[in-house]
Structure 1
Amino acid sequence: MKGKCTVLIVLLMGCLQFSFAQGRSEFGNRYINPFGVVSVTAGVGVAYYMGDLSDGINMKHLGLGPSFSLGGLYRLTEHISARGELRFYQVSADQKYSKNFQNNLSFKTFNPDINLGIQADLFSFNRQAPINPYLFGGAGMTLLNPKAKIDGEWVSLAPLTTEGVKYKRLPLVFTAGIGVSYKTTERLSLGVELCNNFLNSDYLDDVSTVYPNPDQLPNDLAIRLSDRAPEIGEQPRQPGFNRGSAKSKDSYLFLQVKASYMIGNRMQALERRKTRCPKF
């Protein structure tokens, strides 16, 4: 019986060692200092808008648009990396698909944003786990450029001050999300990432508070785009009538497929030189 227990313990220890060894890097069992390891990242997926012109998920019109990202990771510790990304996204909404269809407001926007933050991996760098979940958060800025279509043309709304308010075009954005990466080769990882981007603005869609007095608006085009109810036979909205709600600010969601390629650091470059075959 004692012999059987010994064999079982040896087998269990062997399984644990094999599981850990699966994640070892090209440098064998040697410890590699993670600080300064650089990876480049790229992502593609969809963006989803949450704001005044959406009142719940409408399967007839989700308003999804494309999203793209290019960035990098700079390893700080076994589990923590600094990350930065330049991202582009398109979102849209149309009230004819919502419970406030009578207001007839709509928008579309294609915006860039830049984001810096921290990523925390579940498994350590030197373990090189095949599957590695992570959390991340950060802050950045985005350029607001909402547009609406009228008379067959797309018109930029921000310069028209459709609510009689000149709002900031470069608001702060706070990002939080979750992801998982799968190591396909020693240097390349693929994965999926979901993140929510919280704007410090309620004007991603050019809608926030109430209908203004038409006399406050700069021209006839601004008046038409401020109140679009008459286009569908509704009565013009009275000044002060709710156009949106300033109780909560706008946000946009990304779901992306991500790729990460590890460039490495100076120490790893030296290690690779040592392992190259000699020239004859």
Structure 2
Amino acid sequence: MSKKYLLSVALCLTLFHQFAVGQGRSKFGGRYTDPFGVLSVTAGVGVAYYMGDLNDGVNMKHLGLGPSISLGALYRLTEHVSARGELRFYQVSGDQQYSKNFQNNLSFKTFNPDINLGVQADLFAYNRQSPINPYLFAGVGATYLSPKAQLGGTWYSLPELTTEGVKYKRLPLVFTAGIGVSMKTTQRLSLGLELCNNFVNSDYLDDVSTVYPNPDQLPSDIARALSDRAPEIGEQPRQPGWNRGSAKSKDSYLFLQVRATYLIGNRTQNIERRKTRCPKF
């Protein structure tokens, strides 16, 4: 999956960049500024959507949306390409009572941080000063898994309970790819909209992946109760080896955010701004 992802992202960014370069520097208006080293800070707020073993498609009545926020920076490398880094926080949830596997009765909620580094390719060049600028981006990072489930009014952290009889890595890699559009509102502030998918290199974002374990091998009664929740709704206990999830595809989470980008600039631009503010007579 990761090789196909990387090849697809590389192809998209290459085509996007070639098209952008085709716009030509001759169209730039005004004074040319060397784009290298121009720094911007970014912030985003929106919603996060979970895709994994506890849902089987988009259910518009029970999307399980949670908040997402991000703080980061853009460091410009060329007219079209910037290095990008972000610290993000997101909450997602899932509940099988709204899926075709409702009889398993599994559910979870998680609030996780992640960190992501990558590149962003703008359609229009930096010196063109376009009021609207679409872009593509891709990156790699890591997220910390902390799924929880509620039992008897109390929330329990699931990784320590090993509900499938295995200890999984709680800091997996995350591959990110997305698209956005930025609209300049002032000389230094831009607002926009961004959509991105985050592919987790783990199937345990929701604590569900493979089969039901032997309950005698689980560490506690709480672990056994949260491993097999079918009896809570009158179903027969699941036998060891029955499918609890599916490891064929890994989990992911989607962000839709409103974004703000504030241009700080580089040393040359800061000197020019000071000259403008404080003219010499």
* TM-score for the superposition, normalised by structure 2: 0.89
User: Which residue in the other structure is 1:125 paired with?
Assistant: 126
1:41-52 matches, within 5 Å, as 41-52=42-53
1:171-210 matches, within 5 Å, as 171-210=172-211
Q: Secondary structure at the match of 1:225?
A: helix
Question: Structure 1: which 5+ residue stretches go unaligned?
Answer: 1-19
Letter in 2 for 1:248: S
Q: Secondary structure at the match of 2:245?
A: coil
Tell which deviates more after alignment, 191-200 or 210-219. Answer: 210-219
**Any idea what the Cα deviations from partners look like across 1:21-63, whole Å, max 9, x if unmatched?**
7xx5xxxx22100000000000000000000000011122100
Report the Cα offset of residue 155 of structure 1: 0.5
1:149-168 matches, within 5 Å, as 149-168=150-169
Distance 2:215 2:107 in 1: 19
Letter in 2 for 1:188: L
Distance 1:175 1:216 in 2: 37
User: Which residue in the other structure is 1:103 paired with?
Assistant: 104
Distance 2:58 2:228 in 1: 24
User: Which residue in the other structure is 2:81 paired with?
Assistant: 80
Of structures 1 and 2, the larger Rg is shown by 1
Distance 1:112 1:153 in 2: 23
Distance 2:212 2:139 in 1: 34
User: Which residue in the other structure is 1:15 paired with?
Assistant: none
What is the RMSD of the two structures over their aligned residues, measured on CA atoms? 1.1
Report the Cα offset of residue 279 of structure 1: 6.5
Distance 1:217 1:56 in 2: 31
Report the Cα offset of residue 109 of structure 1: 0.2
Report the Cα offset of residue 277 of structure 1: 4.0
Report the Cα offset of residue 275 of structure 1: 2.3
Q: Between the two proteins, what is the percent identity of the paired residues?
A: 82
Letter in 1 for 2:205: L
User: Which residue in the other structure is 1:53 paired with?
Assistant: 54
Q: Does 1:251 align with 2:252?
A: yes
Q: Secondary structure at the match of 2:126?
A: coil
Distance 1:71 1:157 in 2: 30
Report the Cα offset of residue 87 of structure 1: 0.3
Report the Cα offset of residue 274 of structure 1: 2.5
Letter in 1 for 2:61: K
Letter in 1 for 2:242: F
Q: Secondary structure at the match of 1:126?
A: helix
Q: Secondary structure at the match of 2:274?
A: helix
**Any idea what the Cα deviations from partners look like across 1:1-26, whole Å, max 9, x if unmatched?**
xxxxxxxxxxxxxxxxxxx67xx5xx
Report the Cα offset of residue 276 of structure 1: 2.8
Structure 1 runs of 4+ with >6 Å offset: none
How many pairs are equivalent? 255
User: Which residue in the other structure is 2:139 paired with?
Assistant: 138
* TM-score for the superposition, normalised by structure 1: 0.89
Distance 2:119 2:77 in 1: 10
Distance 2:231 2:279 in 1: 80
User: Which residue in the other structure is 1:114 paired with?
Assistant: 115
Report the Cα offset of residue 98 of structure 1: 0.7
Question: Structure 2: which 5+ residue stretches go unaligned?
Answer: 1-26
Letter in 2 for 1:76: L
Distance 1:67 1:153 in 2: 24
Distance 1:278 1:192 in 2: 38
**Any idea what the Cα deviations from partners look like across 1:56-93, whole Å, max 9, x if unmatched?**
11122100000000000000000000000000000001
